[in-house]
Chains A and B, each alone.
Chain A
Amino acid sequence: AQSVSQHNHHVILSEAASLELGCNYSYGGTVNLFWYVQYPGQHLQLLLKYFSGDPLVKGIKGFEAEFIKSKFSFNLRKPSVQWSDTAEYFCAGISGGGADGLTFGKGTHLIIQP
């Protein structure tokens, strides 16, 4: 079965610290991967996505993610976090060409302390 797992459910960092959130997927064949962010009280917004090509993907607000096929991973990174990055982060995947919606990880609640 297709699945996406996120390693950390709660992460607390200080401002200016570096961030890495883990995501592993279990898909056969081609896979498209996404990171979404949900700020408090808001809906999900797309941070970045990987379809094919360069495995290092850059998104909005200084976030990036690296697709490592050999490790089935798609970890999210940011060199220096800000208080405004406090949010819930979701990794999601879909098999290439699939129409039956994204499969989401359970989310990582990130708290940035000023």
Chain B
Amino acid sequence: NAGVTQTPKFRVLKTGQSMTLLCAQDMNHEYMYWYRQDPGMGLRLIHYSVGEGTTAKGEVPDGYNVSRLKKQNFLLGLESAAPSQTSVYFCASSSGTGAGELFFGEGSRLTVL
């Protein structure tokens, strides 16, 4: 079982470059989430989606965009990367009926120089 898969796992960008992180889940989950994890800050929600074609802002959405064109995929985009976006990004999904239990991907470590 693949569960939640994130690509790429590591990436180094220069300030101003753009990139997209891909999250794919094979559990037929309705809800998907992007979090960022920073030392001493825990996990903070960037954007989320409650179904195909829908997205919503989380706690720290600035500088990011997302799309959910297919139910199984949730893309996180950085249009113009900044050093403050250096972080570990986690994608998660939920069935929506498990009252909040999230299943996480293995994370994507992004460094912006």
Contacts and interface: CB of A to CB of B under 8 A. Distances in A.
A binds B: yes
Given A99-B31, A99-B50, A104 B42 contact: yes
Contacts of A7: none
Interface in A19-54: 32, 34, 42-46, 49, 51
Contacts of B61: none
A43 B105 contact: yes
A105 B42 CA distance: 6
A113 to B, nearest CB: 22
B51 to A, nearest CB: 9
Interface in B31-64: 31, 33, 35, 40-45, 48, 50, 56, 58
A44 B33 contact: no
Given A42-B106, A43-B105, A43-B107, A99 B99 contact: no
Contacts, number: 61
A106 B42 contact: yes
Q: How large is the interface on B (under 10, 10 to 19, 20 to 34, 35 or more residues)?
A: 20 to 34
B99 A32 contact: yes
A90 B42 contact: yes
A34 B43 contact: no
8 contacts: A32-B99, A32-B100, A43-B105, A43-B106, A99-B48, A100-B56, A103-B45, A106-B40
Interface of B: 31, 33, 35, 40-45, 48, 50, 56, 58, 90, 92, 96, 99-102, 104-107
Interface of A: 9, 32, 34, 42-46, 49, 51, 90, 92-94, 96-107
Q: Which 5 A-B pairs have the closest CB atoms?
A: A94-B100, A106-B42, A104-B43, A104-B42, A43-B104
